[in-house]
Structure formats: C-alpha cells, structure tokens
Amino acid sequence: MIHLVLSMVTVTTLLVVPTTPYPPDTPTWERYATWGFEDGHVKGTTVLSELPGRIDGRIRMVTSPVEALVLDGRSVKVHLGDDPAAMLPPGNFSVEAWVVIDRAQQWGGIVSALQDNGASEQGWLLGFRDDRPCFALASKGADDGDGKMTYLVSDRPFEPGTLHHLLGTWDGSTMRLYMDGQPVGTSEEQSGEVLYPARAPVTLGSYEDDNEHYPMAGLLGRIGIWDRALGTEEVAWWYAESGPAPITETPLKPVASYDSAYLIPDGLDDEGKPFRPDPRRPMPLDGTSPSSIGRSFRVVEPGLMNMPEERFSMEALLSLDRVLPEGGVVAWADEDGRGWVLGQRDGHLGFALAGVDGERHWVTAPERFQPGQWYHVMASFDGAATRLHVNGDLVALSRKVIGSVQPPEGTPLSFGGRYRDDVEGAEHGGVFFATLHNRDMSTAEIKAAAAAAAQRVPPSLQLRMSPAMKPLGEGRWSMTWETSTPGPSAIEWGTVFPLSNRVDSEGTGTRHEAILEDVPGDRLVRFQVVGLVDDPRPVTMIQPQVRSGRTPPPPIPSGPTTVEARSSQMSFDTAFDYSDRGKGYILVWGLEGGKRACALARRYDMQVIAIDEDLAKVRVARQAAEAAGLYGERVRVHQLAGETLPYAPYLFDYVTTERSVDGTAFTDRQNQELWRVLRPAGGVLDIDKDLLGTAKSPPVSRSSSEAIVDRHRSGRRIYRRAPLKETGTWTHQYGDAANTACSQDDLVRGDMGVLWWGRPGPRPMMDRGARTPAPLMAGHRMFIQANRQLIAVNAYNGAILWSLQVPGLRRVNVPRDCSNMVASLDDKLYVAIDDRLWVIDAETGERVAMVDVPVQVDSPLDWGFISRMDGHVLGTGVRPGSTYTGAEGEWYDGGGEESWRVTSDVLFSLDPADHDLQWSHVPRGRLLNSTITVDEGNVYYIEARSGSANGAVSGRIGQTSLREQYLVAVDLETGRRSWETPIEVDHFDRMTYLLKSNGALVVVGTSDKFHVLVFNADDGSLRWQQDHSWDRDHHGGPLQHPVIFGNEVFVERLAYDLENGDITREGIPQGRGCGTKTASNHLVLFRHYFHSFWDPGSDAWTEWTGTRGGCWLGMLPVGGIVLAPESSSGCSCTHAIQTSMAFVPRRSDPTFSRIEGDD
C-alpha cells in the first residue's frame, strides 16, 4: 500500500498509472481524458490532453506537494471548451482530481460543466461547497423540464492547504463522492444519462456558467475522467496506487532558537550587565530601540547558521500589547524588503515573506489579536505556499511567493521586538520562545507544537475587581483589587521590565490593598498583580494582563471582529497625579498682614489669591507668605486696582477677608463683586455681615434666595451660594434620563468667552475617535471618563478634585450602546465596570458601594445600562463581552458589524439607599440599550423579538436580527409592562435612538436616510413619521443624535414640530466633525473643525479656532456655563491647543467690558 502523502512532501512526485488492472476482469483503466501540469504537459498556455485546454491568467506551476498549476482564486483557470455534450461522456462516468484547496468558498469548482441558473440546472460539477467537497449532477431521469441538479456534499470537510484526492462517479442511478479513497457521500436522486446544457463553459479550477464565475484558490494537480463508473474498491485501490510517491521527511530540527528559559550568553541589559531571563516568565518586549540590544531582543549573525531559504517554519509563543502598522517579533529582513518578518500588521498577527520578485507579501490572521493574550504562532514556507497557523489552526495561506526566499544579505536574524532600525516596528508584549526550524511542518506536527506551547503559558489569576488606583500625593498611590479566590496577593511595579518593586497586600482574603511609595512623577508605571494559585507548576503566578472580574466571556460567534476583549492595561500614568495641584481657589480680599491667607493655605489644599489696593499691604503679605514658605505654590498676592475685581465670575470656592469686623466695610459695588466671583452650588462667602454693609444684592438682601445662610464654627454667619437659577445639569449621557440632549439651561446664550482652561488632557483622555461616554455635570462637579480613569473637575474653575484609575473601565461606541456612567444630584457617581456598579462619593472619589447585577438570566451578566431617577437606580444586565471596548483606534463610524446593537437581557430597579432589588423586568426580546428612556413614571425601550435575536449567543445583534421590533413602556414603580406596540424600524441599520419630551416618544434611526417616528407616550399610538436624506455619509453624519429644542426636535439638518411633524427649520449647521450636538434653551453646541456655537434664534454661528472636541458628545451647556473637557486626544492634527476648557456667556461677565487704558 502506498501511503497518503500530505503537505510535508516536497520532493517532486509522479502520478503513477498502475500496471495491474483491478479487478482483473476490469476491461480497461484507460481514461476518457486526462490533464496534468508536469513537464511536457503544458506548452505555452495550452494544456496537452485528449481534450486540450487553454490556461487563462498567470501561469505558475509547482512541484510540491504535487506537480500542479497554481490557482490564484481570481483569474487562473483552464478553459476546455463550451460544448459539454459533445466533449464529455453522455452516460456513466467518473471524474477525479488531485487538488489542494486553499480556502473554503460558497461555490467552488474543480471540474465544471454546468449551467445552474435559477430553476435551470444542467450538467455536472466536481467541486466544493463551503469547506466540503461536492459532486453535482443533473440527469435526464430527474429532469423537471429545465433540469434538476443534485449537489452531493461530502460528510467530511477538506483540510485547507492540504493535498486531497477527490473522485465522483455516476452509474446511471447513483452518484458517489470519494475523498482520499474513502466514500464520503451517496445520492440516488438522479437517473439515466447526463442532462447536458446546450452550451456551458467546461473548465478546470473554476465554478463557471453563464452568470457565475468562482475561481478557486489552491493547486490543481492531475485531473482524469473515465467513461465508466468506478467501484468503491476500485477507487480505494486507485487512490493508493496513483498517489504521489512516499517521501521520507527530513528530521525536524531548530536552526536558531530563543527561549526565555535559557540564559542568553550575550544578553546585556541597559546598563551593560548580563541579563538573565527568568525561565518562569516571558521575556518582555518593551519597544526598546536598537540601542538597547540585549534586553528585549537578541541578534544572531546569519553567518553562524545556514539560513533556510526554500522551506522552513518559524514558531513563537508571543503576546502583543500594541497595534502597529507593521511590527516584527522575529525578523530576518532588511529595509529594502528582502527576507521575512514574523509579527503583526495593523493588529493582525502575520508573516511577511519576500520572494524573488523582490516584493514582501504578508499573510495575516483574519481576526485581530487580543492585546495581552498569548498566541502560538507558526509561520511556514514550503516553496509553494506561505502558511500562518495560530494556536494550531491554519488562519492564512498565500501562494504569492513560490520557490525560495529572497535573502537579506548581511542582515542578522533578530529575536524579539524589532525589524527596522527605528522604534516604530518595535513590539510591546512578551515572548516565551521563538524557534526557526529547518522545514515546514505537517498539520499534526503544528498541532502538537501548539499544544506543547500552551503548557508554557502561565495560569491566569482571575481578578474579581481589577485594580483601582488613586493618587495620594507626593508619589504615593493606593491600589485596591479583589481576587476571585482568597489568598496572598501583591503588586509588582516599576517603570521598566523586569519590575523591581513589590508591595504585598496585608489581606489574605479576596480584597487587597497596597500603598505604593516613591512612584516617580510624570512616568508610565508598569505593574502586575501577583498571587498564588493551585497549580502543579512551581511558579509564582503572573497575571499578564489585568482582566475583568472572572472567567473571560465566551467567544462571540459571528460577532464583531474589532478588538474588544481588552479590559485593562498593565500600566498607569503618574502624569495624571493631580493630588498636589490644589483643589480650588480661595480669595482673600482686604489684607492685614497676610496671616489669614497663610492660615487658609495651610489648612486647605487650595490656592489662595490675596488682594488689596494698598501696595504696602501687598508687600507685607508677600513677605509673610515668603517667610512661611507658602509664596508661589499656595499663596499669591495681587494688587487690586479700583473697586472691581479682574476675575471672571464663579471662580472662587471660598471668599473671605483679613479685615477685622470694625474695619472698612465693603461698598455695595464691592459686595456685588464678592458675590460675582463666588462659585455657585456651594461656594462659601465667609465675611462678617457688618463688613458687607447694607447692600441690596445677595447675600445680604432679604429677598435673596441665592444664599444659604450657614453657621461658622465660631458662631459667625457664613453664606453658601446656591446653584444658579434657571440652569441645567447633565446627569446622563444625553443630558437627562429622557435622552433629550438639551440641558434646558436658560443662561447659556449669546456670545461666549473663556472661563477657564487647562487640565485634564490630552494625555489621560481617551483617544478622540471611539465615540466615548459623555462627561457629566451635577452640582459644581464635572465628571470625565478618561482612558480607564475617572476625573472629577470643579466645573466653575477647572480645579481637579479627584481622579481614580481603573484599568477595567472602558466603554465605547456609545451610539450603539449606552453610557456606563450616571451622576446624581445627591453627590453620587454611578459607574458600571464589568459585572458591578461602582457607587462613588462625588466629593471624595471614594467607593461607597459595589453592587452586583442582582438578576441573572440563564448565565451571569455584566452591568449594562444605568439611570438614576426618582428613587430608583435602574440597571440592565448584558451578556459578558457584549459591550464595545475597542482601544486601538476604532472609530465606529460606518455600518456593518460596528453598528451592531448592544442589547440587555433584563431590566431592574434598585433602592438608591441600600441597593436592594425593587423589581426586575425580563423583556420579550432583546432590549436595545441605545433606546432606554426614563421619564414621568415610565421606562421606555425598543426590543427585537425575532428568533435570531432571541437565539443570539452574543449580546450584540446585527441587522438581520433586528426584526419584530416593539416599542415598550414599563411602569417605573412596578416594572410591569404598561403598553407595547410593534414598530417598523427594521431598516435602521446604523443606529436606533429613543427620547421623550412633552408627551412624545421620538424614535430616530437611519438606513439610507434619517427616519423619525413620534408616538404618544401615554398609549404608544403613532403621532407622525417623517424621513429626510442625510447631509453626509461620513464623520458621524448618519449617527447624529436628536436634540429637543423647545417644542421642536432637531434631527440632523432638519427640525420637526413635535406635535405634528411639520418641518420647522432647514439647514441646521452640521459641522465637519464627527461629534454630535447638545443644546441649552438658546444655544446649540457641536464640533465643526473647532468648538462651535450656533444660536437658532439669530442663526449666528461662532467657532473657537484652535480647539476641537472629540467624536461624540463633549460640550455641555450646564450650570450657566459651557463645559468642554479635552476630547481631541491623540489627534496628530495641528489644532493649536489641546485643553479642557469652559466658556461663560459674555453677558454674565462684566470683566469682558473692562478695558484698561495704557498705564
């Protein structure tokens, strides 16, 4: 018996025609026609045969694993003729092919002689359907008038990239299909002679008829046709006898190897000392430049080895952290494109190989790698194909390079972290080992290698809660985390690998805390959580990447392909340490020696501005502060000119004086100034009433409702400024729980001026494009969700109040989901992180509660939606892995998979006081997070009830599942369904929004235009519907969120009357940028090139040259001002200034009109 030979065979083989017929009484083995691609069988473009053919496309032939024609899947095929009836056997026949199919496809043809056009089905085909061989035939006996074809599909798939023998037989009543000599399918649906079409292209290497042409990719070896049907035993015998000759494979051996388990003799660290890798741990790739040779990679001179050029395999166990345009982990390549590189291309693991044509060709995995995840990568070249296996599976195959590698002369082989002489190609991540082998491997060998490599990957420490990091000041950081199982745990940290510092947690349960001391400022600090696990290997467990709180979610079948799983990073940036910057501003007006100013500076973590008209008093105060060591950082003394203050309104959190009670009283004008510069929503005026005189303005005025009188510890009255009247807040993603995107602020109107600018940004912020959660504002605080970090900012003066770094915090693509953050007016911030809701004290940034998803439906759920409303904390549960977390530059601007909606399995309500469950509500379909709207005692949402939606494994569902959609109202107090109504929104393929105002529920979505449907909120009846074509199909044009503006709803470029759907405005400015709009009662904010303001009343439009926002909602008209936290982070454009800033209406600020003459 001659054995089956797979792709490991490389020596030229011949197809054998047996000399002994089988069975002995078989009349003949002579075939009706044969085609081959060995020497002498092809002349020019002609394939010599009993039925000669013409090769179309580029002719390339290989000898391994069989002599064959290379099919490129695009243009190459062999055309034999167009009259199958005249060319091919009319009755019984057999057809065989030695073939390598490189990739599955819906319609694949190896020998094609058919017409399959609608109901008309005639002829036959040896080919494949998806990943299975098939034999198709239409016979006269089964003819239904225009032919009826049976596609007999193999019960086993073929192996891509591997040589197979396929054979189909027809004996007049039974179709049989064989693969590698074994029967894989039988059908008796046909009978009689073949029903040939009058005309059809007869081709090899393509499925082709009058209206279809599907060339295959792979290798076409010998093809043969008999004019009789071979029997099963004959087929087995024939397969064994006619296959390629057996080859004794070359022993596999390494040519060069790098392994973290072994000492690198010439490895040197940055200081030139020998570097000893830890055998238990991977070598880190930290993107070092070539000057750091030795720490991250090793260079081997090619003269030390015989570099294989005709066949080889390059194997590595690696993990990558960064997406690079092109990156190399192992390379033998020069800058002119010669050689090869194992690494990545734009986030896809890949292998680049240069052939003799001088071009370097990449084969890449179709899926992006998950940062921090370990992969066994095997790239191989056998002279006829370049293959890439990941974790033992073939993921890419290319035949662009045939023959041998074009070697990079005089170029060393480098292991780990670069392939070019710059840092751009330097990888970040880790490598356990990388080995160059002398030949390509068989599939079995590759799977065995992948299995062995998997044993090297350390077990994963499961974290219940990823570390939260809080700056304590002066280089001190608090880190808290929870492990899933109790036991000792520690933080290892440092600025470079290997991490040199370790702090053990005092806890031995699941909750841990460590205080890091002497953390260098303005540096990126790397860390890993270390614990002990019950594992037979004697290793201290390494957590290569901080992940979500439990077992990673299952893969998402047919889910998005973008990087989503990475929930954290192994670093935190001390550049975000705001703890020493002061948390606000104190004004001391009227100086008597400066002692009080100094005392306040010592007492509060704030900056003190001390002022007086008298230069002598200014000098004395300066001297006092200098002597106290406070001048500069904590106290500054300004000389005031005149009765008015030069400061913009609202800036000071605390205003006081050094004047004694019997000193000079403030004038009415000065009294107004004191009040003007005091911060609303809690700012304190601490000046004795007698010094405030008899002013009619707050706080002394009897009619004033702006001041809240409080008692000082000394018994003295102090005044606390109330929130500004007629101003708005922004507690939810789109302003309020009703998603109106309008703050209803009455003060934000007219021309605006700068109120403050500065941090945070751009460094800690999320990259600009990912459609991130909106900032929020409640009281005097703005909450910003930066890159895995929460930052609280004093909205009126920009002071950083606190920050908290949480690697597990990330949610993007908000238009297809919902925010993970809500603020409440009772000084709480609610943030969903993995499967928990973090309840954070808005004043201090401390966690006051951690709330699990209280309801589980079938399986554990992550926390999806949040709302805080009328005695309820509302939440939803989403399937783990459903939320978008892309951190590698995803933009989520188009349709397709990135527009799939995140849906919830359950809606519930908790008591805000104790977080006990009040009710839960299970929808009848999949609840679209982007539509959840809460207002006036009801929760409203849209759900999709189609079978595919309900049956989807993932929480993300795509357009084909967005069917049978209903608009649903649920009672806020009970969770019971109030009403529901079917709605026709299946064509919304970009997004779906829901908002409510004035008794109207507004549904907005886009297909090829904007659609608006308005329902009555009390019963779900349709009030009106409209649509209009969009202004632009890029930069978020079709994603624009509506804005409620009085009794109108602004939908992209048009405004509609909420009552009747009449168009009330046209030509609403769209702006160039990718953001969406917000509004006060008088002003609409958006990003054009820069921050822009449009007054619908006057149609005036102003733009703040030099500063821009991000790609979603980033400008809040709230509290009488406009907040615009930095959101252009990462923009490499030349926008002049990247800063957070706030604007104030010029009409609210008299300092705009105080022009000082030249002095």
Partner 1 sequence: MKNRLNITVFLLAAGFLALPTVADWPGYGGDMARSRVADSALDRNLVEAWHWSSPVPPRPAWPGPAKWDAYNKVHDMKSRLMFDAVNHVAIGPERVYIGSSGDDKIYAIDRESGLVQWTFYTEGPIRFSPWLEGDRLLVGSDDGRIYCLDARTGEEAWSRRPAGADRRVPGNGRIISAWPIRTGPIVRDGIVYCTAGLFPLEGVYLSAYDLDEGNVLWSRRFEDLPAQGYLLASQDRLYVPTSRDAPVIFDRSDGTRLGRAGGQGGTWALLTGDTLVYGPGKTGTIGVHEATKGDQLATFPGNHMIVTPSMSYLHTDTELVALDRAEYLRLSASRAVAASRQQEISELLAAGGTEREALESEAMELGARIDALAAAMKNCFKWRAPCSHPYSIVLAGDLVIAGGDDEVAAYDATDGSLAWRAPVTGAAHGLAVDDGVLYVTTDTGALYCFEPASVPGGTP
| Positions in 617-646 near partner 1 (CB under 8 A) | 622, 629, 631-633, 636-639, 641, 646
In angstroms, what is the minimal distance from the CB of 763 to partner 1? 5
User: Rounded CA gap, 100 and 165, in Å?
Assistant: 9
Residue among 865 and 891 whose Cβ is closer to partner 1:
891
Instruction: Pick the stretch among 277-285, 824-832, 885-893, 1035-1043 that binds partner 1 (CB under 8 A).
Output: 885-893
Instruction: Pick the stretch among 147-155, 413-421, 761-769, 930-938 that binds partner 1 (CB under 8 A).
Output: 761-769
Residue with the two structure tokens 């201290």: 540
Residue among 42 and 588 whose Cβ is closer to partner 1:
588
Instruction: Pick the stretch among 287-295, 401-409, 500-508, 687-695 that binds partner 1 (CB under 8 A).
Output: 287-295
> Strands (DSSP E) along 766-826, which ranges?
776-778, 781-786, 789-794, 800-805, 821-824
> Strands (DSSP E) along 303-365, which ranges?
312-320, 327-333, 339-345, 348-354, 360-364
Within residues 841-870, the interface with partner 1 by CB under 8 A covers none
Q: Does 1098 bind partner 1 (CB under 8 A)?
A: no
Largest CA-CA distance found in the chain, in angstroms, rounded: 131
The one-letter code for the residue type at 1021 is: S
* Residues 206 and 107: beta-carbon distance below 8 Å: no
What's the chain's Rg over C-alpha atoms?
Answer: 36
In angstroms, what is the minimal distance from the CB of 921 to partner 1? 38
User: Rounded CA gap, 482 and 806, in Å?
Assistant: 13
Residue among 579 and 1064 whose Cβ is closer to partner 1:
579
Q: Does 1034 bind partner 1 (CB under 8 A)?
A: no
Q: Applying CB under 8 A, which of residues 298, 338, 368, 768 lies at the interface with partner 1?
A: 768
Q: Does 280 bind partner 1 (CB under 8 A)?
A: no
Q: Applying CB under 8 A, which of residues 276, 602, 977, 1154 lies at the interface with partner 1?
A: 1154
Residue 290, exposed/middle/buried by CB under 10 A (0-12, 13-18, 19+)? middle
In angstroms, what is the minimal distance from the CB of 669 to partner 1? 16
Within residues 317-356, the interface with partner 1 by CB under 8 A covers 322-325, 346
Buried b (16+ CB within 10 A) or exposed e, 978-991: beeeebebbebbbb
Residue among 1026 and 1102 whose Cβ is closer to partner 1:
1102
Instruction: Pick the stretch among 66-74, 530-538, 657-665, 757-765 that binds partner 1 (CB under 8 A).
Output: 757-765
Residue with the two structure tokens 């006619």: 242
Instruction: For residue 717, give the nearest of 696, 680, 692, 681 by alpha carbon.
Output: 692
Instruction: Pick the stretch among 148-156, 236-244, 274-282, 1105-1113 that binds partner 1 (CB under 8 A).
Output: 1105-1113
Q: Which helix (H) or strand (E) holds 967?
A: strand 965-971
Instruction: Pick the stretch among 26-34, 55-63, 435-443, 1150-1158 that binds partner 1 (CB under 8 A).
Output: 1150-1158
Residue among 217 and 606 whose Cβ is closer to partner 1:
606
Between 228 and 257, how does the x/- string for binding to partner 1 read (CB under 8 A)?
------------------------------
Residue among 305 and 620 whose Cβ is closer to partner 1:
620
Q: Which helix (H) or strand (E) holds 289?
A: none
In angstroms, what is the minimal distance from the CB of 347 to partner 1? 8
In angstroms, what is the minimal distance from the CB of 748 to partner 1? 16
559, 565, 567, 570: CA torsion to nearest 10: -160
Residue among 762 and 1125 whose Cβ is closer to partner 1:
762
Within residues 515-574, the interface with partner 1 by CB under 8 A covers 522, 573
Instruction: Pick the stretch among 155-163, 438-446, 658-666, 1098-1106 that binds partner 1 (CB under 8 A).
Output: 1098-1106
Per-residue H/E/C for 971-1036: ECCCCCEEEEEECCCCCCCCCEEEEEECCEEEEEEECCCEEEEEEECCCCCEEEEEEECCCCCCCC
# of chain residues touching partner 1 (CB under 8 A): 81
Buried b (16+ CB within 10 A) or exposed e, 947-972: eebbebebbbbbbebbbbbbbbbbeb
Within residues 406-435, the interface with partner 1 by CB under 8 A covers 423-424
Residue among 700 and 1131 whose Cβ is closer to partner 1:
1131
Q: Does 1156 bind partner 1 (CB under 8 A)?
A: yes
In angstroms, what is the minimal distance from the CB of 654 to partner 1? 14
Within residues 436-495, the interface with partner 1 by CB under 8 A covers none
Angle between helix axes 615-627 and 595-603 (nearest 10 degrees) is 40
* Residues 229 and 235: beta-carbon distance below 8 Å: no
User: Rounded CA gap, 220 and 1000, in Å?
Assistant: 65
Residue among 693 and 758 whose Cβ is closer to partner 1:
758
Residue among 14 and 1136 whose Cβ is closer to partner 1:
1136
Residue among 323 and 809 whose Cβ is closer to partner 1:
323
* Residues 232 and 160: beta-carbon distance below 8 Å: no
Q: Applying CB under 8 A, which of residues 581, 689, 720, 915 lies at the interface with partner 1?
A: 581
Within residues 1045-1084, the interface with partner 1 by CB under 8 A covers none
Residue with the two structure tokens 């008899």: 694
Instruction: Pick the stretch among 66-74, 124-132, 958-966, 1151-1159 that binds partner 1 (CB under 8 A).
Output: 1151-1159
* Residues 782 and 1127: beta-carbon distance below 8 Å: no
Q: Does 888 bind partner 1 (CB under 8 A)?
A: yes
CA 14 to chain centre: 51
Instruction: Pick the stretch among 534-542, 546-554, 747-755, 803-811 that binds partner 1 (CB under 8 A).
Output: 747-755
| 1063-1065/1054-1057 β-pairing | antiparallel
Q: Does 761 bind partner 1 (CB under 8 A)?
A: yes
- Order of strands, sheet of 413-415, starting from the edge strand that comes earlier in the sequence: 298-300, 413-415, 327-333, 339-345, 348-354, 360-364
User: Rounded CA gap, 813 and 884, in Å?
Assistant: 6
User: Rounded CA gap, 284 and 429, in Å?
Assistant: 6
Q: Does 299 bind partner 1 (CB under 8 A)?
A: no
Q: Applying CB under 8 A, which of residues 777, 1129, 1145, 1148 lies at the interface with partner 1?
A: 1129
Q: Does 287 bind partner 1 (CB under 8 A)?
A: yes
Between 358 and 397, how does the x/- string for binding to partner 1 read (CB under 8 A)?
----------------------------------------
Q: Does 754 bind partner 1 (CB under 8 A)?
A: yes
User: Rounded CA gap, 695 and 670, in Å?
Assistant: 9
Residue among 421 and 936 whose Cβ is closer to partner 1:
421
In angstroms, what is the minimal distance from the CB of 678 to partner 1? 14
Task: Give me the half-sphere count of Cα atoms (radius 13 Å) on the Cβ side of residue 55.
Answer: 24
Residue among 124 and 647 whose Cβ is closer to partner 1:
647
Q: Does 291 bind partner 1 (CB under 8 A)?
A: yes
Residue 257 DSSP label: E
In angstroms, what is the minimal distance from the CB of 1087 to partner 1? 15
Q: Does 1127 bind partner 1 (CB under 8 A)?
A: no
Residue among 72 and 767 whose Cβ is closer to partner 1:
767
Q: Applying CB under 8 A, which of residues 787, 882, 885, 909 lies at the interface with partner 1?
A: 787
Instruction: For residue 244, give the nearest of 415, 542, 14, 558 by alpha carbon.
Output: 14
* Residues 904 and 929: beta-carbon distance below 8 Å: yes
Buried b (16+ CB within 10 A) or exposed e, 192-229: eebbbbeebbbbbbbbbbeeebbbbbbbbbbbbbbbbb
* Residues 934 and 1017: beta-carbon distance below 8 Å: no
Within residues 636-695, the interface with partner 1 by CB under 8 A covers 636-639, 641, 646-648, 651
